[in-house]
Amino acid sequence: MQAGLSTKNAPSPSVVLPHYAAGAIFFIIASVLLFFASENLANTFIGPKILGLTHILVLGWITVIIFGALYQLIPVVMEVKLFSEPLAHISFYTLVTGTVLLSYTFWNNYINQTIYLQTGGTLIFISVILFVINVLFSALKTKQKTLENLFIVTSAGWLLLTVLLGIFITLNPVLHFVPKSNLELLKIHVNFGLIGWFMMLVIGVSSTLLPMFFIAHKLNRTFIHLAYYFTNGGLIFLMLTLYFDTNILFKITAGLILVAGIIFFIKYNFDAYKKRLRKKLDIGMKLSVFAFVLLFLTLIFGIFSVLNIEILTEYNSSIYAAYGISLILGFFSALILGQMYKTLPFIVWLKLYQDKVGKFKIPMPAHIYSAKVADWHYYSFITAIIIILTGVFLKESILIKISAVAFFITASLYTFNTFKILFHKDKSELLN
Amino acid sequence: MLENLSVTEKQILERLKTIPDPEVEVNIVDLGLIYEIRHNEKEKNINIVMTLSARGCPVGDTIMQHVETVTKAFLPEYDVNVELTWEPQWTPEMITPDGKALLNM
């Protein structure tokens, strides 16, 4: 085994592949739920249906796929084997079951204490604990003390805090731990999850993967270091300002530190994009580039939601909703849609053809899915995003319904390709 | 680097051009990933030194295995050793003019 090689450390495909399958199904479910939550979303940014839909998206769609992708990626960036595959299996099943139960409860009963809520919450907590153990113990084995690893470990820590606070929120009204309303605590919970867990991980992982896929070299790594410190610092500061309900100036400062961190991250990847060797982008990278457009949009909505500008009061609820949509359904989803094409075909290709290279005629990873179908869902996704944001600002539920149809088409086409890759059969032929 | 190659070493290099990097679909020779080919007639061994475009490349050892298989198929009576190095680090300047044309650079 030579340093820098990762295939021999790769986990069994059975650890990783179910995550991609389940994530795709959850994306379809989310698009259906969006259709039925359209009335709510046109008028507010919070409520039972929106909470149910959000948890299907952040846990079922995004977190499930991220867990799977990380199990594949940890051996690559840490150059060690994953600490425990059985833990990863248990974590998958508890996460999927917990997400269904929790989202079902939120959709129907909001946060009343029910057996579904308690069971769902417990299962997700178990899943996260097992995931964090896997990440931390893998990190302890590695000799690669890189910034990417620090990002992964830090994001796992924020994920743990997010889930703990989520449980705290459901218990606080009954047990009165702190004199805070659920909405106040919910804001901290949301920021822990979106910025601490997702964004931290995305920054760390993207800083490795995107330049590798762009084939870009000589990038200034200082920007990624700055992104790490500003994003973490800004998040801690924001949490304090939200908890102690400080004046607006502190909140704006926290917001600006966070924005600066994300701008450093964008700058680093923009440099990679400019210096890329591959001028023609494949579908995976086209979607990833579009994700950054949506991230920029998220920053704008984020700034407006913190500033709370008086003349825009009428649109405050729309701005909050647009912020969440452009981040969750926009940036994170586009990145997942795109990066699936940069990871899953390789995993399946390695599984089937690793031992056949040079001896048989074999297809390339890019040939085991339909490029046409991928192109179609690229356009349907862009259409869906434009329509949903328009619908939210115009407060028109019919537009949100139309966007849900476009998301359904996107999710279905994406799922078609995911399963086409997952069920790809060996097509090797003897060399002449 | 790839200088003063013998006839056999040149033939090996030509065969290595059939190996694509699965990510970019350009062959590894034109990508500049092959640093050295040493063919030792007496000891019946071939030593190939190569790199990858990025550390942690997920298909790295598959490419190396491919190099070994192709070389072995050409000269079955030889021992083939494929060595990975990160020194010097690969840079885009190492791509050949043909590789640049394939990448539309």
Option in B54, B65, B103 nearest A357 (CB): B65
pLDDT of residue A62: 96
In a domain, B23, yes or no: yes
Predicted confidence (pLDDT) at residue A230 exceeds the cutoff of 70: yes
C-alpha of A432 from chain center: 45
* Model ipTM value: 0.75
pLDDT of residue A406: 98
Which residues of chain A from 170 to 209 reach within 8 Å of chain B, CB to CB? 208
Supply the mean pLDDT for chain B.
89
Option in B19, B61, B84 nearest A8 (CB): B61
Predicted confidence (pLDDT) at residue A5 exceeds the cutoff of 60: no
Among the listed ranges A120-134, A219-233, A256-270, A272-286, which one has the minimum average pLDDT value?
A272-286
Partners of A277 on chain B (C-beta within 8 Å) are 92, 95, 103, 105
Shortest Cα–Cα distance, A121 to chain B (Å): 35
Across the range A119-126, mean pLDDT stands at: 93
pLDDT of residue A310: 67
Partners of B63 on chain A (C-beta within 8 Å) are 357
Domain boundaries, position B84: 7-102
Predicted confidence (pLDDT) at residue A3 exceeds the cutoff of 60: no
Partners of A357 on chain B (C-beta within 8 Å) are 19, 62-63, 65-66, 69
Among the listed ranges A56-65, A156-165, B20-29, which one has the minimum average pLDDT value?
B20-29
Q: Which two tokens stand for residue A142?
A: 């590695």
pLDDT of residue A111: 60
In a domain, B17, yes or no: yes
pLDDT of residue A10: 83
Shortest Cα–Cα distance, A429 to chain B (Å): 16
In a domain, B34, yes or no: yes
Predicted confidence (pLDDT) at residue A17 exceeds the cutoff of 80: yes
A to B CB pairs, distance under 8 Å: 92
pLDDT of residue A112: 66
pLDDT of residue A355: 78
Across the range A342-355, mean pLDDT stands at: 87
A366/B92 touch (CB, cutoff 8 Å), yes or no: no
Predicted confidence (pLDDT) at residue A2 exceeds the cutoff of 50: no
Length of chain A measured in residues: 432
Confidence band, pLDDT 50/70/90 cuts, at residue A404: very high
A364/B65 touch (CB, cutoff 8 Å), yes or no: no
Across the range A18-31, mean pLDDT stands at: 98
Across the range A332-353, mean pLDDT stands at: 92
* Model confidence pLDDT, tens digit, residues B25-51: 789 999 999 999 999 999 999 999 999
B22/A365 touch (CB, cutoff 8 Å), yes or no: yes
CA distance linking residue B104 with residue A252, whole number of Å: 45
Helix, strand, or coil (residue A281): coil
Instruction: Provide CB contacts within 8 A for A298, sequence distance 6+.
Output: A323, A326, A327, A330, A331
CATH number for B32: 3.30.300.130
Please indicate if any CB of chain A lies within 8 Å of the CB of B27. no
Shortest Cα–Cα distance, A287 to chain B (Å): 17
Confidence band, pLDDT 50/70/90 cuts, at residue A91: very high
Radius of gyration of chain B (CA): 13
pLDDT of residue A362: 86
Q: Which two tokens stand for residue A343?
A: 């990871």
By DSSP bridging, strand B45-50 and strand B79-84 are: parallel
Put residue A246 in one of left, alpha, beta given phi > 0 → left and psi -120 to 50 → alpha.
beta
Of A133, A152, A162, the residue nearest A202 (C-alpha): A152
In a domain, B2, yes or no: no
Across the range A178-193, mean pLDDT stands at: 87
Helix, strand, or coil (residue B32): coil
Instruction: Provide CB contacts within 8 A for B64, sequence distance 6+.
Output: A5, B50, B82, B84
Please indicate if any CB of chain B lies within 8 Å of the CB of A2. yes
Residue B38 bridge partners (DSSP): B47
Please indicate if any CB of chain A lies within 8 Å of the CB of B4. no
pTM score: 0.89
A364/B54 touch (CB, cutoff 8 Å), yes or no: no
Q: What is the DSSP string of A69-95?
A: HHHHHHHHHH-S--S-HHHHHHHHHHH
Predicted confidence (pLDDT) at residue A297 exceeds the cutoff of 70: yes
Instruction: Please return the burial class of B76, using the count of CB atoms within 10 Å of its CB with bins 0-12, 13-18 and 19+.
Output: exposed
Please indicate if any CB of chain A lies within 8 Å of the CB of B76. no
Could you tell me what percent of chain A has a pLDDT over 90?
Answer: 64
Please indicate if any CB of chain A lies within 8 Å of the CB of B70. yes
Tally of structural domains, chain B: 1
B61/A359 touch (CB, cutoff 8 Å), yes or no: no
Angle at A102 between CA A100 and CA A105, to 5 degrees: 105
Supply the mean pLDDT for chain A.
90
A6/B54 touch (CB, cutoff 8 Å), yes or no: no
Shortest Cα–Cα distance, A266 to chain B (Å): 21
Predicted confidence (pLDDT) at residue A1 exceeds the cutoff of 90: no
pLDDT of residue A7: 62
A7/B60 touch (CB, cutoff 8 Å), yes or no: yes
Could you tell me what percent of chain B has a pLDDT over 70?
Answer: 99
Across the range A94-106, mean pLDDT stands at: 96
Across the range A71-89, mean pLDDT stands at: 92
Could you tell me what percent of chain A has a pLDDT over 70?
Answer: 96
In a domain, B1, yes or no: no
Across the range A102-130, mean pLDDT stands at: 87
Instruction: Provide CB contacts within 8 A for A68, sequence distance 6+.
Output: A15, A16, A17, A18, A19, A20, A23, A92
Helix axes A371-394, A397-422, angle to 10 degrees: 160
In a domain, B32, yes or no: yes
In a domain, B82, yes or no: yes
Please indicate if any CB of chain B lies within 8 Å of the CB of A356. no
Option in B22, B83, B92 nearest A217 (CB): B92
Which residues of chain B from 39 to 58 reach within 8 Å of chain A, CB to CB? 52-58
